[in-house]
């Protein structure tokens, strides 16, 4: 039997749909005040429902940190540790320590970059991990591409492992529209590269010129339709579009434009849905994250599966520079809703200049 630890961060990712950029510290309370709902439960259930291996024995954190989800399936498990009414990073670390002391062969955790840092602090390079993405940011390359990819990794991993980075960003800077990331270390993961996301890559200012972004922006602005609300994702290419309209877009948030005027600044899922209801017609403009190619599911969870279902694939506009997309195998999505992911997969046009487009494949 393979002894597997399971730790679920029950608050990870809650800030995403309400536009908070994370749930560290007091942001968890603010997320609750804004009506945010837990997302990790659905994430771990997606994974557990797809596990086919029969040789797994789980050591699970108690309650909502692991045990509650295993109860719904036929896995052999033992619950360990102690948690309070509100879970903390120290709970994650202490339970991980207990699992390591009991000699687990593998540690599975559900969360974001902050959770990955907590796990790193305890396991280092001693115990392999499988990271199920459920946070707001998730720039670390330790994460599986999706819940389905994580399940496939659990089902197929053997004795080959590789090192992957744990990154995290300064959430205060992120909320102030500044992306400040730091490498915290490396963990050992199954060497199944096609199931792992790549780390976020910084823009190369020498190759990815402002001129090309301006060309993209000019083309989009020329073809903007009236009486349509445009949901603008994060990124410098999208910011260039807003600047041509003479409006100030948040660099790392989601904003909305209607007939050349901002009608939503740094908005969450609730506000986006209200705008779609108010204006009727909606389109989404996004740019992929450099390095890993995600257009939905990383860094812009305000554009939720429900929003995407309403807007439809035909009303999604992807923009980029050729330098950025030229380094990508494909574009990626991980909305948390498998049916929506399937709808969005396939070919999509990417605007890379003035009246210039290339066709790329979207995968989940």
pLDDT of residue 14 exceeding 80: no
The 10s digit of each residue's pLDDT in 163-205 is: 999 987 765 666 566 666 788 999 999 999 999 998 766 555 4
Tell which residue, 225, 190, 216, 198, has the closest CA to residue 329: 198
Q: Domain 210-363's class?
A: alpha beta
For the chain, the domains span: 2-195, 210-363
End-to-end CA distance of the chain: 31
Contact 358, 352 (CB under 8 A): yes
pLDDT band at 326 (very low <50, low <70, confident <90, very high): confident
pLDDT at 113 over 80: yes
Three-class secondary structure of residue 252 per DSSP: coil
Q: How would residue 11 be classed by pLDDT, with cut points 50, 70 and 90?
A: confident
Distances (CA, A) of 22 to 27, 77, 264, 298: 7, 31, 20, 12
Contact 56, 76 (CB under 8 A): yes
Task: State the pLDDT at residue 13.
Answer: 76
Which pLDDT score, from 0 to 100, does residue 247 have?
93
Q: Three-state SS for 92?
A: helix
pLDDT, tens digit, for every residue of 37-80?
Answer: 778 999 999 999 999 999 999 999 999 999 999 999 999 999 99
Residue that has been written with the tokens 């500044």 in this structure: 178
> Interior CA angle at 361 toward 355 and 364, to 5°?
135
- Model pLDDT, residue 206: 47
- Rounded to whole angstroms, the Cα distance separating 116 from 18 reads 22
Q: What is the mean pLDDT of residues 114-121?
A: 94
Strands 261-264 and 129-133: unpaired
- pLDDT tens-digit profile of 240-286? 999 999 999 998 899 999 999 999 999 999 999 999 999 999 999 99
Q: Tell me what pLDDT residue 26 has.
A: 65
Which residue, 308, 299, 334, 255, is CA-closest to 20?
A: 299
Could you tell me the two tokens for 330? Answer: 């494909």
Residue 19 pLDDT grade (very low, low, confident, very high; cuts 50, 70, 90): low
Crossing angle of helices 236-244/210-222, nearest 10°?
50
Here the contacts of 166-169 (C-beta below 8 Å, separation 24 or greater) are 166/113, 166/116, 166/117, 166/120, 166/140, 166/142, 167/113, 167/139, 167/140, 167/141, 167/199, 167/200, 168/113, 168/114, 168/116, 168/117, 168/137, 168/139, 168/140, 169/113, 169/137, 169/139
Report the DSSP beta bridge partners of residue 181: 169
Token readout for 95 is 């339970």
Identical fold between 2-195 and 210-363: yes
Q: Which range (16-20, 177-181, 226-230) has the least confidence? A: 177-181
The pLDDT confidence band at residue 28, using thresholds 50, 70 and 90, is: low
- The CATH fold of domain 2-195: Rossmann fold (3.40.50)
Alpha-carbon distances, residue 216 vs 44, 345, 360 (angstroms): 39, 23, 17
**Element containing residue 357 per DSSP (H, E):** strand 356-363
Burial readout 296-321 (b: 16 or more C-beta within 10 A, e: otherwise): bbbbbbbbbbbbbeebeeebbbbbbb
Q: What is the pLDDT of residue 30?
A: 72
**pLDDT-derived band at 159, boundaries 50, 70, 90:** very high
pLDDT of residue 207: 46
pLDDT at 57: 97
- The residue ranking higher by pLDDT, 49 or 323, is 49
Residues in Cβ contact with 155 at an 8 Å cutoff, skipping those fewer than 6 apart: 50, 51, 52, 53
Average pLDDT of the chain? 90
Distance CA 26, CA 22 (A): 10
How wide is the angle at C-alpha 65 spanned by C-alphas 63 and 68, nearest 5°?
Answer: 45
| pLDDT of the residue at 362 | 97
* Section 216-226 average pLDDT: 95
Q: What is the DSSP string of 257-313?
A: EETTEEEESS--HHHHHHHHHHHS-EEEEE-PPTTT-EEESSS-TTS-HHHHHHH-G
Residues 18 and 29: their CA atoms lie apart, in Å, by 12
Residue 212 has a pLDDT of: 86
DSSP state of 240: H
- Residue 349 reports pLDDT greater than 80: yes
pTM: 0.83
Q: What tokens does 72 get? A: 């719904």
| Tokens, residue 318 | 């992807």
In the prediction, which pLDDT does 185 show?
95
């Amino acid at each position: 039997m393979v002894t597997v630890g399971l730790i679920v961060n029950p608050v990870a990712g809650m800030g995403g749909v309400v536009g908070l950029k994370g749930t560290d510290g007091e942001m968890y309370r603010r997320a609750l005040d804004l009506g945010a709902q837990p997302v990790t439960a659905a994430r771990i259930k997606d994974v557990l429902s797809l596990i086919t291996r029969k040789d797994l024995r789980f050591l699970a954190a108690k309650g909502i940190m692991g045990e509650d989800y295993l109860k719904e399936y036929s896995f052999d498990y033992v619950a360990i540790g102690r948690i309070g009414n509100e879970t903390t990073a120290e709970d994650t670390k202490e339970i991980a320590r207990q699992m390591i002391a009991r000699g687990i062969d593998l540690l599975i955790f559900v969360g974001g970059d902050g959770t990955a840092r907590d796990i790193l602090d305890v396991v280092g390079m001693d115990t392999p991990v499988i990271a199920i993405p459920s946070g707001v940011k998730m720039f670390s390359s330790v994460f599986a591409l999706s819940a389905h990819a994580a399940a496939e990794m659990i089902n197929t991993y053997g004795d080959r492992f590789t090192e992957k980075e744990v990154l995290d960003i300064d959430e205060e800077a992120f909320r102030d529209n500044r992306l400040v990331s730091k490498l915290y270390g490396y963990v050992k993961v199954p060497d199944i590269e096609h199931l792992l996301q790549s780390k976020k890559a910084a823009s190369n200012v020498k190759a990815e010129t402002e001129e090309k972004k301006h060309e993209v922006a000019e083309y989009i602005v020329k073809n903007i339709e009236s009486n349509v609300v445009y949901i603008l994702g994060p990124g410098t290419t999208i910011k260039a579009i807003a600047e041509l309209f003479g409006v100030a877009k948040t660099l790392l948030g989601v904003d909305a434009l209607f007939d050349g005027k901002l009608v939503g600044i740094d908005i969450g899922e609730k506000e986006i849905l209200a705008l779609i209801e108010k204006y009727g017609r909606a389109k989404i403009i996004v740019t992929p994250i450099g390095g890993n190619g995600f257009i939905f599911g990383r860094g812009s969870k305000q554009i939720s599966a429900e929003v995407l279902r309403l807007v439809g694939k035909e009303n999604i506009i992807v923009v980029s520079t050729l330098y950025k997309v030229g380094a990508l195998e494909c574009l990626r999505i991980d909305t948390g809703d498998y049916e929506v992911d399937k709808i969005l997969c396939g070919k999509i046009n990417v605007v890379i200049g003035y009246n210039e487009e290339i066709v790329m494949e979207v995968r989940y």
